[in-house]
Amino acid sequence: MSENQREASINDQIRLCNERLTTEGWSLVQVFRDAALSGASELRPGYRALLEGAREAAFDVVVTEALDRLSRDQEDVAALFKLLRFAGIPIVTLAEGEITELHVGLKGTMNALFLRDLADKTRRGLRGRVEAGRSAGGRAFGHTVVRELDARGEPVRGKRAIDVTEAAVVRRIFANFAAGDSPLAIAKALNAARVPGRTGARGAIPPSAGTRCAAPVSCATSSMSADWSGTACIT
């Protein structure tokens, strides 16, 4: 499981697990999958469904390609193993066979080290991008993505250019805030003027709008029903 995992990779894992089921003479009850979600988090629908199924004794054994397919977090792996063992449900992986406490300890430690190393490399890459004058995040309102290829034909990531139309809205927001308008009032005015946000959507402001922050609102887009909610703040 990773945020960049391909659908074909998951299908390959399912196919290999099905072959193991056939070899053992076991019947498939349910497939739990979390495509393109980080294995470092337990807040995954497939993982949560697996836990619920174990509590309800919906299956007799868990088969997976490897222990890190369940979770890369050492604490979560240990907790899952403890829960399944209490329920009398063994974990069987294609690589190690039936999982024991020894696997949980060793593999959990290795996975934790992998995650720490991955985080360090990710931060290093993002810092290098920032120091090169490029963006390390998504597209902020007021900017547009510059799509270029380097000498090797690879996409150049993090380059941004000012979007003239959106930049005018950003200046308007800061001017209104400096004049004493609240984020909620600014959001209402933008909606009333039918000014599209980054997603291009327009809608009613939700009840939670108007949250105050320590900096002026320059990118007040929201994943809620409204496009301008007055809740998101960046300096």
Q: Is the distance from CB of 161 to CB of 143 less than 8 angstroms?
A: yes
Q: What is the mean pLDDT of residues 58-75?
A: 86
Angle in degrees, CA 95, 79, 112, rounded to 5: 60
pLDDT given for residue 41 in this prediction: 58
Token pair 């996975």 in the structure block, residue = 111
Nearest CA-CA partner of 84 in 66, 102, 101, 69? 101
Rg (CA), the chain: 24
- Both tokens assigned to 56: 């309800």
Confidence of residue 39 (pLDDT cuts 50, 70, 90): very low
Q: Is the pLDDT of residue 153 over 70?
A: yes
Looking at residue 226, its pLDDT comes to 39
Over residues 85-109, the mean pLDDT reads 86
Average pLDDT, the chain: 77
Average pLDDT, integer, range 68-89:
87
CA distance 50 to 80: 10
Lowest mean pLDDT, pick from 17-26, 189-198, 217-226: 217-226
φ/ψ of residue 230, rounded to 5: 75, 15
